[in-house]
């Protein structure tokens, strides 16, 4: 599939690759490093993330439904607030991680991962049969852009009548964007201040062009993943999957066991009681090297797990997220096998570089 901005990406020299069923730019002609730098060092980057799914949930049973199908406590949301959450199966492992937008007490908006869109929608619609609620997949009619970096607010303010300064972190507003209505939220996947912009496909190109005119730099998938990894943000198929629960993934903070019954709750409670089978940790190389996904991790010379996401950070050097045996999460000498060589690493806290989100 192609997003409404496909021709714009090609015109800008985007190197197109298949991703989650879409044809998207992995980088543009100046390369991923310059794109990364534009976001991290004071400019603003614009990302086409239309491949993400958008689902509307409406009806008098909307809150009860979302309380049942998601892990976080939706009752804590107020109108205009966003919440990070997850969908679990009965085994307590991840169907997906999502964001929940509360429009009103009977209307919510979910943003779901691209690769999981059809699976998620089928799951939600199946469960909705037991509630007074409708679940509508609006993905094909919606363009989603992320505008991230220090100059994001100034650039975006030129094309909307919404007061962006008044939109707090993980909050959103609805209003005019360009020539149509849409949603703007102060959210993102980069660790920088910025926004995610939901709009009808018809205005996608005009909004994209207007933001480029304001100095926004187009950013591809490669730089987006660099920015994401530096923050230690989870990515489905890497840090989270149908093989791990929130206990292993360090996501119990979005899993409210005391809110009432939800799908996967009993399994998560059991896993928490018996202890995690593996633990997610953050690693930084002491020696030179670039850790990559699936590279083996050793602790005290024993193979303990593998890298889930890894890269050379321009600011922090070789960094990785990895699952290891629970007994190795805190103590022991760590190394990552890179091209047959054991490269020394150390445990560290997240994020790997300073976050500049505006809270």
pLDDT, tens only, 81-119:
999 999 999 999 999 999 999 999 999 999 999 899 999
The separation between the first and the last C-alpha atoms of the chain, rounded to the nearest angstrom, is 36
User: Mean pLDDT over residues 304-327, rounded?
Assistant: 98
User: Mean pLDDT over residues 303-330, rounded?
Assistant: 98
* Pairing assessment for the beta strands 296-299 and 334-338 based on DSSP bridges: antiparallel
Q: Do residues 165 and 37 share a domain?
A: yes
Q: Do residues 209 and 351 share a domain?
A: no
Q: Do residues 46 and 151 share a domain?
A: yes
Residue 166 covered by a domain: yes
HSE value, Cβ hemisphere, 13 Å, CA-based, for 312: 8
Q: Do residues 144 and 46 share a domain?
A: yes
Residue 116 covered by a domain: no
Residue 96 covered by a domain: no
Residue 62 covered by a domain: no
CATH number at residue 11: 3.30.1360.120
pLDDT, tens only, 28-45:
999 999 999 999 999 999
| H-state helical runs in 99-220 | 117-128, 152-157, 204-213
Q: Do residues 144 and 221 share a domain?
A: yes
Provide the 10 A C-beta neighbour count for residue 274. 9
Mean residue pLDDT of the chain comes to 97
Q: Do residues 347 and 288 share a domain?
A: yes
Q: Do residues 292 and 177 share a domain?
A: no
CATH number at residue 319: 2.40.30.110
Provide the 10 A C-beta neighbour count for residue 3. 20
Q: Do residues 215 and 349 share a domain?
A: no
Which structural domain, as residue segments, surrounds residue 348?
Answer: 278-359
Alpha carbon distance 234, 221 (integer Å): 15
User: Mean pLDDT over residues 229-242, rounded?
Assistant: 97
Residue 109 covered by a domain: no
Which SS3 state, helix, strand or coil, does residue 178 take? coil
pLDDT band of residue 125 (cuts 50, 70, 90) is: very high
Q: Mark which of 199, 231, 263 sits at the end of a domain.
A: 231
Residue 113 covered by a domain: no
Alpha carbon distance 81, 102 (integer Å): 6
Q: Please determine, for residue 59, whether its predicted confidence score (pLDDT) is greater than 90.
A: yes
Q: Do residues 179 and 35 share a domain?
A: yes
- What is the domain count for the chain? 2
Residue 328 covered by a domain: yes
pLDDT band of residue 70 (cuts 50, 70, 90) is: very high
Q: Do residues 173 and 307 share a domain?
A: no
What pLDDT is recorded for position 359?
84
What pLDDT is recorded for position 155?
98
Alpha carbon distance 330, 320 (integer Å): 16
Residue 186 covered by a domain: yes
Residue 209's nearest CA partner among 148, 258, 158, 168 is: 158
User: Which whole-number Å values give the CA distances from 203 to 55, 176, 180, 225, in the listed order?
Assistant: 20, 11, 7, 27
Q: Please determine, for residue 78, whether its predicted confidence score (pLDDT) is greater than 90.
A: yes
pLDDT band of residue 327 (cuts 50, 70, 90) is: very high
Q: Do residues 32 and 177 share a domain?
A: yes
Work out the percent of the chain whose per-residue pLDDT is above 70: 100
What pLDDT is recorded for position 23?
98
| H-state helical runs in the chain | 6-11, 32-40, 62-69, 117-128, 152-157, 204-213, 221-231, 265-274
Residue 14's nearest CA partner among 22, 4, 24 is: 24
pLDDT band of residue 275 (cuts 50, 70, 90) is: very high
Residue 356's nearest CA partner among 196, 233, 231 is: 231
Q: Do residues 212 and 333 share a domain?
A: no
């Amino acid at each position: 599939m192609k997003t409404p901005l496909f021709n714009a990406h090609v015109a800008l020299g985007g190197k197109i690759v298949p991703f989650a069923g879409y044809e998207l730019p992995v980088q543009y002609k100046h390369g991923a490093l310059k794109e990364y730098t534009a976001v991290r060092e004071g400019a603003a980057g614009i990302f086409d993330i239309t491949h993400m799914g958008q689902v509307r949930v409406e009806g008098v049973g909307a809150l009860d439904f979302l309380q049942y199908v998601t892990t976080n406590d939706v009752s804590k949301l107020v109108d205009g607030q966003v919440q990070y959450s997850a969908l679990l199966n009965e085994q307590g492992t991840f169907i997906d991680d999502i964001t929940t937008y509360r429009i009103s007490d009977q209307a919510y908006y979910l943003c779901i991962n691209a690769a999981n869109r059809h699976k998620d929608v089928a799951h939600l619609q199946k469960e909705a049969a037991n509630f007074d609620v409708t679940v509508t997949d609006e993905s094909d009619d919606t363009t989603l852009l992320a505008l991230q970096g220090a100059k994001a607010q100034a650039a975006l303010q030129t094309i909307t009548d919404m007061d962006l300064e008044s939109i707090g972190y993980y909050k959103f507003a609805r209003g005019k964007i360009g020539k149509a209505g849409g949603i703007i939220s102060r959210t993102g996947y980069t660790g920088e201040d910025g926004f995610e912009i939901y709009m009808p496909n018809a205005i996608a190109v005009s909004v994209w062009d207007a933001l480029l005119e304001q100095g926004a730099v187009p950013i591809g998938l490669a730089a987006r993943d660099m920015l994401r990894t530096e923050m230690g943000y989870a990515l489905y198929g890497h840090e989270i999957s149908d093989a791990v629960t929130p206990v292993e993934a360090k996501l119990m903070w979005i899993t409210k066991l005391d809110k009432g019954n939800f799908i996967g709750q009993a399994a998560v409670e059991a896993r928490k009681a018996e202890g995690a089978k593996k633990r997610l940790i953050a690693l930084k190389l002491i020696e030179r090297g670039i850790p990559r996904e699936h590279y083996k991790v050793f602790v005290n010379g024993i193979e303990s797990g593998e890298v889930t996401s890894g890269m050379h950070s321009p600011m922090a050097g070789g960094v990785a997220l990895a699952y290891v045996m629970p007994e190795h999460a805190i103590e022991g000498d760590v190394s990552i096998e890179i091209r047959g060589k054991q490269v020394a690493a150390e445990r560290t806290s997240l994020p790997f570089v300073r976050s500049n989100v505006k809270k």
